[in-house]
Amino acid sequence: MPGRLLRGLWQRWGRYKYRFVPWIALNLSHNPRTLRYVPEESKDKVISDEDVLGTLLKVFQALFLNDFNKQSEILTMLPESVKSKYQDLLAVEHQGVKLLENRHQQQSTFKPEEILYKTLGFSVAQATSSLISAGKGVFVTKGLVPKGAVVSMYPGTVYQKYEPIFFQSIGNPFIFRCLDGVLIDGNDKGISKVVYRSCNGRDRLGPLKMSDSTWLTSEIHNPLAVGQYVNNCSNDRAANVCYQEFDVPAVFPIELKQYLPNIAYSYDKQR
């Protein structure tokens, strides 16, 4: 029994140590692959914000069209110009189908990961990591990822530096610190899950969802919302992705916000 307990604690440490700041500081020199020189915070960009935004809009729009039968309440709240835009896109996608009310007779709904593959040429998903004691990881399940592509998003509740996160952080390996000190809690269990769902319900405007909460479940609507399970590099395996920060603009289409896997902890701090 003591041996099993010690093995369990050792496995937990093996997963957590890569997020334990003192351990990271002591071991930086042992693994140069974990170091990436950044001259200035403003220059820590692999691709431009315009490219990131373009990718998100492309994927979210494809997901919206795929779920069009479920969007009737949202469409009633959108301007005619926006509804006409989607009508035109549907007509092109379905070879001249112009009557939206007949869409349910014409369309076969695809799974979100299939939509991601059709849109970007690849799909990703969670699976058991190939790294020893690393828990889950993220893998390309279909297609090829071109260099510079957006492959995932880090979901979770966004906390400003002064906001309370002590209880959520206990035993939580998914707290991510941004360059400006803002924290993202990407844990899909426990109190973190409760907090996110509470904030998600708080910000909802009738049928309009301001964020996506399906990443907390096994039925994910946004297939990119798996970034919290991307593992760090190891001494044996170099990193094949890197992190980049992106602020969603205020003019982001309101009908597509239902696919954003982030929510601000405070109502007055939309980001």
Range of the domain at 190: 47-98+108-264
Whether residue 6 has pLDDT greater than 50: yes
Angle, vertex CA 259, rays to CA 253 and CA 262, nearest 5 = 100
Strands (DSSP E) contained in 22-62 are none
Let me know if residue 176 belongs to a domain.
Answer: yes
3 found inside a domain: no
Mean pLDDT of the chain, nearest integer: 85
Looking at the structure of the chain, the number of domains it has is 1
In a domain, 269, yes or no: no
Q: Identify the H or E element spanning 263.
A: strand 262-264
Residue 187 inside a domain? The answer is yes
CB 123 within 8 A of CB 141: yes
Asked if the model's pLDDT at residue 83 lies above 60, the reply is: yes
Asked, for residue 21, whether it belongs to a domain, the answer is no
Mean pLDDT value of segment 239-250: 91
**CA angle (189, 195, 201) in 5-degree steps:** 115
Q: What are 113-151's pLDDT values in tens digits?
A: 999 999 999 999 999 877 666 678 899 999 999 999 999
Most confident option among 83-97, 107-121, 184-198: 184-198
* Helix 49-66 × helix 80-93 angle, to 10°: 80
Q: Is 176 exposed, middle or buried (0-12, 13-18, 19+ CB in 10 A)?
A: middle
* Residues paired with 138 in a beta bridge: 126
Within-domain flag for 36: no
Give me the residue label for tokens 């939309």.
270
Mean pLDDT throughout 103-121? 81
pLDDT over 60 (residue 32): no
Note the pLDDT of residue 105: 47
Question: Are the CB atoms for 211 and 257 separated by under 8 Å?
Answer: yes
Q: How confident is the model at residue 39 (pLDDT cuts 50, 70, 90)?
A: low
164 Cβ neighbours under 8 A, 6+ residues apart: none
For residue 234, what are the CA distances in angstroms to 8, 15, 138, 147? 21, 12, 15, 21
End-to-end CA distance of the chain: 48
- Band (pLDDT 50/70/90 cuts) for residue 97 is very low
**13 within a domain of the structure (yes/no):** no
Picking from 22-36, 154-168, 242-256, which range would have the lowest pLDDT averaged per residue?
A: 22-36
Residue 186 lies in a domain: yes
The three-class DSSP label of residue 250 is coil
Residue 92, pLDDT score: 76
**Residue 5 one-letter amino acid:** L
One-character DSSP codes across 174-191:
TEEE-TTS-EEE---SHH
b/e burial code for range 142-164 (CB count within 10 A of at least 16 → b): eeebeeeebbbbbbbbbbeeeee
pLDDT at 257: 97
